[in-house]
Amino acid sequence: MAERTWVAVRGSERRAVAGAQTVGRAHPQERVDVSVVVRPRSPLPKAERGMAWLSQQEFEQRHGATAEDVAKVRRFAQEFGLTVMEHPQQGSRRIVTLSGTVEKLEQAFGVQLNEYHCEAFSYRGREGAVQVPQELAAIVQAVLGLDNRPQAKTHYRWREAPGTRRPGAAAATSYTPVQVAQLYKFPSDVTGAGQTIGIIELGGGYRPADIQNYFQNLGVTAPAVTSVLVDGGKNSPSDPNGADGEVMLDIEVSGAVAQGAKIVVYFAPNTDQGFLDALTMAVHDTTNKPSVVSISWGGPEANWTAQAMTAMDQAAQAAASLGVTITVASGDSGSSDGVTDGGNHVDFPASSPHVLGCGGTSLKGSGSAIASETVWNDGSSGGATGGGYSVQFAKPSWQSFTASGRGVPDVAGDADPNTGYDVLLDGQTGVIGGTSAVAPLWAGLIALLNQKLGKPLGFVNPDLYADEASFRDITSGNNGAYSAGPGWDATTGLGSPDGEKLEKTLG
């Protein structure tokens, strides 16, 4: 093999999980698939107000991977004994999947793969940067899959036991998603017919019988729900205390709000590779064509590599150029986002400037009207809405405040488990809250508005910030470091939706 110069992939540096112990080397003959993200043909379109949307074909022709770049990655794979795995929309997604043994991948990417164990899980991982040959340095933007540590967590919470509410918290009640939509004045003369809602799931599963029973009890027709399996992901329901709660919450909330929409669930492993592959699969799905994608998984920016965040953000930027809206939960651990270093952190991918970050409120209704609504904060044990300022992404042009980082969230909705959502999963009923409920709530609203207005809303952020009067401004409460106040704030963003006003604004 010819001598050559090797270059570190920018932002690929990894450290072991805090407290993890090295068990030993990964088995040299273990087979692993990796996702190699290559550069776009030309810079991705800037997401801005009034931007023109592209078709999938136009996007691939203008901003997909070039045949020359893909061919260079293929030659590199052949040289190191790796197999190129073919998959749909490879050019649009700009992902080349390579498969090989640990031994060959270590040689190809200049890494050492070890087995690690910590209290909560074991994983195959690496430390330091991923290396590529000089001739690929300008082409390869990320290499994901060598490290398979769990990347994200769900953002839902079961209602706490009676008597554990914080002082001043709303008296415990619950709503069906239909009731929440009515309180927020969602359009009632459309059902989301003709729309497809994509949902990203990194674990768990659903049982069709639960879906049928839940919607029958609501008195509405159950939505058509199908699955797309990515990177070996599975629809694998187990028990209510696992990721099933996330999957069913997402389906039941979005499906009850937009009863005529189709729902496609993209199941992938909970790794940075699986997350990216599922998102790009949904954004570039030419079969199901989702007009809105809901994401209720995430983790602190500090737990991500820069290469993974950049790749995910570019996938969201591609969605914006295709007219696809992405709604993302902002997290359930307040301004710290669960990081114990004493600082403030925001959750990713909610902090991507190309998604609609969704924070949480505590909602109290009176008949068909809202009696009160405050920032959701049930204390350190009960959870609180995520929010704050990104250290990875700069403040976009449509946000105005003194901080320099992207502000999170953009919008909000009911998330307090004490004012939570009635759900059915694994044959059991219960009440769930968390910002995981807000992402599918907003996804359902977007689907309704898409049908109502006769076109996809696409990247809505600039339009929403241009007319803050379309929201219920939340001015009471805090999420730890940040307090609510007039206008946008780092607890509930612009506020909770007023469907009637939003319809006029976005129309």
Q: Which residues are catalytic?
A: 246, 250, 436
- The distance from CA 256 to its chain's CA centroid, rounded to whole angstroms, is 20
Instruction: Supply the DSSP string of 328-383, one letter for each residue.
Output: EE--SBGGGTT--SSS---EETTT-TTSEEEEEEEEEEETTEEEEEEE-B-HHHH-
Region label for 304, one of left (φ > 0), alpha (ψ between -120 and 50) or beta (otherwise): beta
Residues 479 and 347: their CA atoms lie apart, in Å, by: 14
CB 249 within 8 A of CB 440: yes
Q: CA-CA distances (angstroms) from residue 254 to 180, 216, 250?
A: 12, 15, 6
CA nearest neighbour of 384 among 248, 480, 311: 480
CB 195 within 8 A of CB 294: no
Q: Alpha helix (H) ranges present in 64-119?
A: 67-79, 90-93, 102-109
Q: What are phi and psi of 466, to 5 degrees?
A: -75, -15
Degrees to nearest 5, angle at CA 245 with 194 and 305: 85
Q: CA-CA distances (angstroms) from residue 265 to 26, 130, 181, 458?
A: 32, 31, 22, 20
* Burial degree of 329 (CB within 10 A; 0-12, 13-18, 19+): buried
DSSP strand pairing (196-201 vs 292-295) = parallel
CB 23 within 8 A of CB 114: yes
